[in-house]
Structure 1
Amino acid sequence: MARKRSSSFEDVVVALSRLPWWASLLIGFVSWLILNPVASSPVVVPAGVQISDMSGVMISQLWHTFAMFGQYLIPLVCVFGAIGSVFGRQRRKKLLNDVKSATQPGKTIDGLSWPQFELLIGEAFRRKGYSITETGGKGADGGIDLILRKDGEKYLVQCKHWRALKVGLPVVREFFGAMAAEGAAGGYVVTSGQFTKEAKAFASGRNIELIDGVALKSWIAQQHTIRTPTVEIKPPPVAPAMTPVTNTEPLCPVCSAAMVRRLAKRGANAGNAFWGCSKYPRCTGTVSG
């Protein structure tokens, strides 16, 4: 099946989306700072210019025209690249989390396509503290797929999504040559399958780490989702409300003893309730009510 050809615009956006989103925006801002003064200044043709000297004027005019359009077009492309970088980051996070919790064969490591496999490996290294540059390699068959940087050192990664074949000595030897050419401090060859004994023997002592399918699955299972720590803000403790103490029974105004409720049996207040001292008849203190 023929591969669909992409436009130059799409190629640039894809390249920018592989950078951190802030890097794309920074490139767009710097390009605007450079091109805007050129676009704002008029093209002046000196008097007495001969036809033989018009080439310089034409170059100046072309540069001015490019600046007029480029001061807006390049930042716009960079904005699209930054958006693609953000969405790509979310896609990689989801991919790794889906593989970690996969219960269906199609979502395990073996069920991924080779582009998804490279995204998965990149996200796993990113969570180990590396900054990642995705180079795209040479497709499904090889090439340097990721460039890692950490503590000022550069490392290379080659991904081999080979389930049926073992990664042999030629692949590891070629990768070691690429490390030397790039001046990398070390490198990783990651496969969903296995390595031959010859490949393991060659990598030993050469600062090349070989990660096979079994080690990769264990590695992915141990990845932790990076979460921003949250601080729980609790409201200050509220002191319990003071319940007012009320006396249901008044005290005797004469001897301060407790009073009891009584009913007047005679006199002008016959039939009305009142409070009488509990020490009656020794105390005859009363309270109406």
Structure 2
Amino acid sequence: MRRERERQWLRLTAFTVIWVVTVGIWIWARLTASTNMRNDMTDVLVIGLRSLVDQSIVLVVIAAPFLAGLWVVLARRERFEMRRDHSMATLRELTPDRFEDWCAARFRDLGYEVKSVGGQGDHGIDLIATKDGEKTAVQCRRFAKTRPVSEPQLRDLYGSMHAIGANRAVMVTTGRYTSSARDWARAKPIDLWGPDQLGKAAASTFSVTSGPAPELAPSLGRCPWSDSPLVVRTNRATSEKFIGCSDYPACKYTRPLATRDSRAQRQPPRLG
């Protein structure tokens, strides 16, 4: 919302400048074309206005390259933000497992050795990233845009970091952080990665020139309870897959994952 207001303000400013320049040129042309001066007072007024318009035109000519450069910068910024927003929407449609894989790939891009540790006894840690002898505990949370990571969740991550003997921790989320969570994490060895950081990486990852995008979850429809997208989840205790709401744990809707055989059994018989 704030970025949209900034873009609107910049567009309005550019439009105002163009409008002033156009009106100034029109007044200057009218004054230049006028040859019949009715009296001395009119002469003084016309000469004064003409001088003002001439100075304005000089300023506009000087400022024109800067205005053109501003337009180019704004256009590039808007294209990048649109690509980033689209990429963040793509990330939020990934299954939790695919999102963890994507996060692991980003750490590998930064030169880390990454190990997935999801499962029982993982202390809530999804990845362990190691670089230069330093161990980093990573927790990946594929949340809805408005769903926050709170201070208690960061406290749990901080405790898990010490439990596994890590030097640092990184919370990665497609949602947002509460102000109390940011304040608590300040001056602690915890990095908070949110849409601002992920968006830049996602815009590069999902661009046309960077290769294929990660495999997305098939369309499973929307949750009948929260209207959020349904995703495939894995029961860490039994390793069985099931369908659940992407807004978990706020919404705990689940249903069994239909296998190919079970879907085939439910299909009506065909004639001939």
Instruction: Name the TM tier (shorter chain).
Output: 0.3 to 0.5
Higher RCO by CA contacts (8 Å cutoff, separation 6 or greater): 2
Greater helix proportion: 2
Normalising by structure 1, we get a TM-score of 0.39
Normalising by structure 2, we get a TM-score of 0.41
Larger gyration radius, structure 1 or structure 2: 1
